[in-house]
Amino acid sequence: MNKKQKKMLTRILIAAIMVAALSLVPVQGYLRAVLYMIPYLVIGYDILLKAWKGIRNRQVFDENFLMAVATVGAICLGDFKEGTAVMLFYQIGELFQSYAVGKSRRNISELMDIRPDYANVERNGSLEKVDPDEVEIGSIIVVQPGEKVPIDGIITEGKTTLNTSALTGESLPRDAKEGDEIISGCINMTGVLKIRTTREFGESTVSKILDLVENSSSRKSRSENFISKFARYYTPVVCYSALALAILPPLVRLMLMGLDPQWGDWVYRALTFLVISCPCALVISIPLSFFAGIGGASNAGVLVKGSNYMETLAQTRYVVFDKTGTLTKGVFEVCGVHHNVMEDHKILEYAALAECSSSHPISRSLQRAYGKEIDRTRVEDIEEISGNGVTARVDGIPVAVGNSRLMERLGVAFKECHQVGTIVHVAIDGSYAGHILIADVLKPTAKAAVAELKKSGIRETVMLTGDIDRVAQQAAAETGVDRVYSELLPADKVTKVEELLEKKNPREKLAFVGDGINDAPVLSRADIGIAMGALGSDAAIEAADVVLMDDDPLKVVKAVRIAKKCMRIVYQNIYFAIGIKILCLLLGAVGIANMWIAIFADVGVMVIAVLNAIRALFVKKL
């Protein structure tokens, strides 16, 4: 609890003890009124002041005004205990609500802990702590074990293990070494690192994430906007209704029926009506539900830019995936080596050495598969033939590595291969040695993610890709997506998403999931854009509505489930609060409900709704 909450708790305890003591003391008349005014003012003076300020500023109709009128009215009718109790329990509810909001804010504040306080810059042989804003691009900073990485950059010296849980929600550490890119917000766990900065602090990953989370509350959902408008008209209506309840029935009894008007009884009913009608449960719990949902999602590595996107995500029934970098790793890997006589590792060795001077992704995949340091002294006479491949001499032996056109050009007889992927043929000393199969590999969780999405209520999954149809169809079959569109240019993907948007029911939403690098147009066009693995990607953070902080496809499932849970809680609170209030208002109007039932209808309902809203903070692991 903070200082303000502790002060309120003290006031509540003092007032509660005094009310309990007065209930046991047989005091009547003016002395009773004076004694009950002490706990009433202890617990309610601030509410009375706020109500008076609202009247002076011509902003009369709020919960402070309702509580002030109801409690002062009850005291004027001689119901001292009820009037004080209403104010006491209202303040208990306010304390509870304050604590709940504070807990939700602390949950988001844990994410804010990624903000670095300083950066270490080496000057004159010693480390100097400076404000991260003062570090220019290209500067060398030093990050010691236990410190946060303050600015995005590239490791120039050292190796370490990084804790990225504050960014991704995953506790598994990641290894980093010289030459690797590193993003701000990670915690250096082991070695000393020297990093050459590639961005200014204001443009770094941590700054963009914090800005995104801090501004998420500015984008309101339809449910929040409805509650705001509802409260604006609802409170004056119930005030005038209570006034009518206090005046009209007695007048009818007196003037038309000639009966005792029973003014005190009807005024008491009107005051009970006012307490019941206080809209605290709705006004507090609905924004709190969204706030807690966004906070819980952020701690799980899912950044939602606003409650409106949370609402849209919950209505998603169609999910469209980009293939490369989203369902697949986006990097070529050797999937198989097929040879005539020579051993697998020998073919890989000759192919990797022949390709050692090329920066092509296929060349890099061959070198990674070889797994050893390339000895360039063994290679000579390298010639790269555009669109065909590479020829070279390795250990004095002629080697050719490339596609079928290269084999035909060199007059080497080769075997046709019908496997899906990129086929790299290898000829050694003029004879065909075999071929190497290279493909973009599916992410380990891609198939599970598609299956879990269908369990979560997604009606159809679609895959868009620029790959040839044969490769696309195999990827679709392995992942289990329902439809696939292949050989698409970036502009074609936008067109295809627009076609899908036109065909679906307008009330059902379509989400597009991309890797955030070249998918910005499609992310913007879909009902909701989800950028996956978007650490450090400006395009993703700007264009997407939801940003997943790592490249695990299961995070898409988590995002959908968090949104659905959040919206279930919102609707539960709306139906529960309105239903109980309508029931109690009817009971109050006919004289069945008293002040104690009114206290439950106001404070009790608010406490239950807030407790329910807090559930949105907790995210289950898949």
Helix axes 554-589, 263-277, angle to 10 degrees: 180
322 among known catalytic residues: yes
Q: How many Å from the N-terminal Cα to the C-terminal Cα in the chain?
A: 33
Q: What does R_g of the chain's alpha carbons equal in angstroms?
A: 34
DSSP structure class, residue 117: S
Options 79, 322, 467, 552, the catalytic residue: 322
For residue 229, the one-letter residue type is K
Coil vs helix vs strand at 62: coil
Rounded CA separation 332/369 (Å): 10
Of 420, 391, 425, 419, which Cα lies nearest the Cα of 405? 425
Pairing of strands 528-531, 546-548: parallel
Residue 108, classified by CB atoms within 10 Å of its CB into exposed (0-12), middle (13-18) or buried (19+), is buried
The type of residue at 576 is F
Gap between the Cα atoms of 43 and 146, Å rounded: 47
Q: Which secondary structure element, helix H or strand E, spans residue 171, and what is its range? A: none
Who contacts 518 (Cβ-Cβ below 8 Å, separation ≥6)?
Answer: 490, 539
Burial 272-284 (b: 16+ CB within 10 A, else e): bbbbbbbbbbbbb
Report the candidate in 302, 309, 299, 306 with the shortest Cα–Cα distance to residue 112: 299
How would you list the strands of the sheet with 379-385, edge to edge? 328-339, 431-442, 422-428, 397-402, 389-394, 379-385
Name the 3-class secondary structure at 136.
coil
Q: Give catalytic residue positions.
A: 322
